[in-house]
Structure 1
Amino acid sequence: MTLPRRTLTHILLLGIGFAYVYPFLWAVGSSLKSPMDFLDTGLGLVPPTFMWENYATAWNQASFGTYFLNTVIISLLTVVGTLLLTAMAGFALARHTFPGKKTLIGIIGATFLLPHGYTIIPVFDIVKALGLLDTIWSVVLVQVGGGLVFGTFMFMAYFQSMPKELEEAARVDGAGYNTLFFRVILPLSRPMAATLGLFTFISSWNNFFLPLVFTFGKPELRTLGVGLYAFTSETSTKWTLLCAGAIISLAPIVVVFVVAQRYVVDAIAGAVKA
């Protein structure tokens, strides 16, 4: 590639990258503006005056402390439940042969294509019958159930790429099934667990529909995604506080991704190699 073409390619890629990053930069800048500056500057990124108190106002006015704690609890429980169940199911499907296995995998895969809107009513009835409606456990249960198919297939593909000699060596040393899974197989699947855990955490953290439906009767159980609507009303929207609340809700995701990104790269490299 000649130098002019390489330069044009870099300019084009930088432009595309900036287009992707611009909404986030705009939200950061708008979160530091006054309401008047927000209207005057429009799509400008740099606020004339930095209103750092917007973050404190957003945190206190919308009960973000409570919503933040709810979101952390729900997201962590969802990640733990999803990883444990999908790892066990993926290992069973990857290493064991039984009658109807292909049919079962096909049925499980077909359920992955069902939109959430078509299943929300029966799921709501089940949660209500279990007496879990308007509890944190209802949101966790439904989110874990929604991530089982994708996670199971991810783990199944990852376990199939592992050499069987590892399991045979562990069995020769006297390891039972539970010991083999929890002390040998599961520790070796840390890259995939980190990747799936990251995706699950982000999905749970940003989820709006399920927390809204299953905690509708108890506003104190809302998550950050639902709590952002505290800044909107029928007549007006507090845009600067809404942007500040959005940045507060995005910050933990950025931190988690930075910490777990090397595991994501390892898992993707392993999947490509397999």
Structure 2
Amino acid sequence: MITQLKDKIAVLQEGSKADKMLERLPVEVKKWAEGLPWKERRYVLSLCHLLCAASPEMQAQFLDDYTADGLIAKILQDQDAQERVQFYLRLFRIDTKLTGSVLRKYIRQFYIHSAQDVSRQPDKYLESALRLVVNSEEQSHVLNYILGFEIIKMMFQMSWQQHERLYRIQINQEEFYNKYIKRIQNAHRLNGIIVPKDERVFFAKRDYFVQKPEIGAKKLIELILVTFTTEAVCELGFSIGRNIKHLIFDYDYIFQRETEGIFAS
């Protein structure tokens, strides 16, 4: 008798947990899930099982195949958000246009990048990806990601002298250097893109200091994916969108001729 009572209590508790899970869904999704007949509930459960059992890379592929077209359509409908990001890209002299094909490429890359972050944050990937699909407000996340990624691409292709000019004009130089420049220069070193020799010898230093990194398009993306998390890229784009002075940028000063500036105090 006592055992049967415990079993009934356990069932009630499990039911309560399931109710709490459904409460976390948007209202329309909760109503849809609760209104499904038993046969279709089995389909949903089968899909959930397959998705949770899949590797992060397979999850990324599935989410891209299953959701990209819908996300692109929603983003393209929000002209104000698009134009705002396009405006910021122009301010940084970045030529990327937010076409449908560019958005699709970035949505897929966002999922892949999130999947690679799993080793650092294993509990965050699927949650963030599904939130992106379900919540229309989260879809601005993709535009923040694009803006942040394009700016990091620009910094990855700067010489170290240009890096120095860039961080010199920032309000918080140390934070900016540690957060972005130091990581990028470490990636340059580790991948043999820029190899400092005789750093203490002035003219030797000058050679590598003004060297323009030569990085192919595919390699550039790969380097950024392993150097920065999805969250760090999105945070950069979001911060610039909220306050353009978050990253102070003076194109003429940063990209002045390499023979100038190295002797400056």
What TM-score do the two structures reach when normalised by structure 2? 0.22
Structure with the larger RCO, 1 or 2 (CA within 8 Å, 6+ apart) = 1
